[in-house]
Amino acid sequence: MKIKEIGEKQLIKKIAEIVAPAALPAGFLGIGDDAAVNSVAQGNVLVTTKDMLVEGIHFIRNMAAPADLGYKSLAVNFSDIAAMAAKPRYIFVALALPKDIDLEYVLELYRGMVQLADRYGAVICGGDTVGTPGPLVISVTVQGEANQDELFLRSGASPGDLLCTTGPLGASAAGLFLLTENICCDEEMRRQALQAHVRPVPRLDEAAFLSASGLVTAAMDLSDGLLKDVTEICEQSACGVLLRENQIPVHPAAVCIAQEKGENPLDLALSGGEDYELLLTIKPEGFQCLSDDYLTRFGQPLCLLGEMTASGGIVMVNMDGKRESLSFKGFRHF
């Protein structure tokens, strides 16, 4: 059935049925009135983020299952919420829908979102649906709740702080290669790369664990690639950074797939993008202890990449011990 056969009112009713099982607490209002009503606990702050995905730019409609696309549209927002050390609470979804799109496609998008939302106790509270003569557009807003004293910002790093990530990099870019080209590789590496690209796990649990330590000085999530993203922390913290090539955590799937394709795996880790790991600066004195606890809790250590410096710019010590200045080669929208 096409959405144009049932109209907007019926479409919203069907969406509400998918969203409804996770009911809002008493006193809150979700889908159905002119606006949603939410609140946060006393002493907490509301953290709001929005990400928009456009068909043809962020995804190819016939290459992604709609439930996966729904999941990822929400996961990229949850990743930003994690980057602030907040907990996701309220979700608003606006869709611009090509008129010939199938009803089932739209409902699957929501089912994918609800799978992820339920896992973290967040609720879809409203949004908007419009018809469009153009491509499918998915615009998601997420509001999260955070303790003001435990917020992660990009601006808090100091020279000497250690730079690390919550996990290895480059698997998502490798997964994109697998989707767009015919590449032979180990089955388990294939599974991990596709998983990283199609269903990235927002690092919400990791962020909650790390923020409770009080040792994180700055953070952001890695969406555009390490080299581009790290410049944000450098600029906002008025620092430079020294990276060590032999410590860049290249995901094993990125190594395997890049080599198969004749690319340098390091490039995928530095500039591939869409990793959705957190990039963090941490006070050096507590790092080892924190990393050990992190290993116990999450089954892998924090990945140490280098340290923040007083002078500007990104410098990498390569395998031969030589220092070179780097600039990012990530995706540009404009």
Q: By CB under 5 A, name the binding residues for Mg ion.
A: 80, 221
Backbone phi and psi for residue 162, each to the nearest 5 degrees, phi listed first: -90, 140
DSSP letter for 99, please: T
Min. distance of Cβ 156 from Mg ion in angstroms? 16
Min. distance of Cβ 16 from Mg ion in angstroms? 30
Backbone phi and psi for residue 40, each to the nearest 5 degrees, phi listed first: -125, 160
Min. distance of Cβ 208 from Mg ion in angstroms? 17
For Mg ion, the closer of residues 245 and 275 by Cβ is 275
What one-character-per-residue DSSP string does 222-239 give? -SS-HHHHHHHHHHHHT-
For residues 99 and 231, give the distance between their C-alpha atoms in angstroms, rounded to a whole number.
41
For Mg ion, the closer of residues 83 and 117 by Cβ is 83
Place of tokens 């919400």: 204
For Mg ion, the closer of residues 245 and 274 by Cβ is 274
Min. distance of Cβ 83 from Mg ion in angstroms? 5
For Mg ion, the closer of residues 48 and 129 by Cβ is 48
For Mg ion, the closer of residues 161 and 274 by Cβ is 274
For residues 256 and 253, give the distance between their C-alpha atoms in angstroms, rounded to a whole number.
5
CA end-to-end span of the chain = 37
Q: Which of 77, 248, 61 is CA-nearest to residue 136?
A: 61
Token pair in block for residue 31: 């889908």
Q: Under DSSP, is residue 297 helix (H, G, I), strand (E, B) or coil?
A: helix
For Mg ion, the closer of residues 145 and 274 by Cβ is 274
For residues 107 and 55, give the distance between their C-alpha atoms in angstroms, rounded to a whole number.
17
Min. distance of Cβ 305 from Mg ion in angstroms? 18
Distances from the Cα of 20 to the Cαs of 29, 30, 84, 117, 124, in angstroms?
A: 12, 9, 28, 12, 8
What one-character-per-residue DSSP string does 177-212 give? HHHHS-----HHHHHHHHHHHHSPPP-HHHHHHHHH
Min. distance of Cβ 319 from Mg ion in angstroms? 30
For Mg ion, the closer of residues 78 and 105 by Cβ is 78
Min. distance of Cβ 280 from Mg ion in angstroms? 13
Q: Under DSSP, is residue 2 helix (H, G, I), strand (E, B) or coil?
A: strand
